Amino acid sequence: MTFPAKSQTNILSQKNILIGCGIGGAIAVIILVITMAFPGSTVTSDNSILVDPTKEKQSLFVIARVMIQNTGNQPLTNITIDYGDGDKDFISILKPGKTMILSPPDGNSLQFVRVTADGNVDVYKAYREPIAMPGMMGS
C-alpha cells in the first residue's frame, strides 16, 4: 500500500506560512525592544502627588520626614499635610516637578500621613521604615 504523494504546491504553501510567521514574530520582537528602549511620553494626570513618609529609629531618637513631590502637570494648591494627633502643615502652592521634605512635630505618634490638595488629591499613607544597612547610623 502506498500513500499518495504530497503535491508540490502544498509543501511550498507550508514553507511560506512558516517563513511568514517567523518574519512576523521577528518584527514583533523588534517593535517591543524599540518601545521599551525609547518609551514615548506617558500620560499623567494634571493633579498628581507622590507622598513618602519615613521614620528611622536610632538608638537615642527617631528621625522622621515626609517627602512630597508634585508629579502632575499643574501646580498643586492648598496642600494640607495631616500628621495625625492634630498636627498639620499647610503649603499654598507646589509647582510641577518640585519636591518638599517636611518634618512632623516632636511628640507625634508617627502612624500615618494624609495629604490633601485642590483637584481631588487625597493620599493616605503609613510611615515606612527603611532597611538598616550594616555600618550605618542606627544599625
pLDDT at 76 over 60: yes
Q: How far is CA 67 from CA 2, 12, 81, 101, 128, in A?
A: 80, 65, 11, 4, 12
The per-residue pLDDT for range 81-129, each reduced to its tens digit, is 999 999 999 999 999 999 999 999 988 999 999 999 998 899 999 999 8
pTM of the model: 0.63
pLDDT at 41 over 60: no
pLDDT at 26 over 70: yes
Residue in 63, 70, 79, 84 with CA at minimum distance from that of residue 126:
84
Residue located via cell numbers 517636611: 102
pLDDT at 17 over 90: no
Q: Tell me what the pLDDT averaged over the chain comes to.
A: 84
Question: Domain spanning 49-126: which superfamily?
Answer: Immunoglobulins (2.60.40.10)
78 — phi, psi (to 5°)?
50, 55
DSSP SS3 for 95: coil
pLDDT at 38 over 70: no
Q: How many CA atoms lie within 13 A of 12 on its CB side?
A: 3
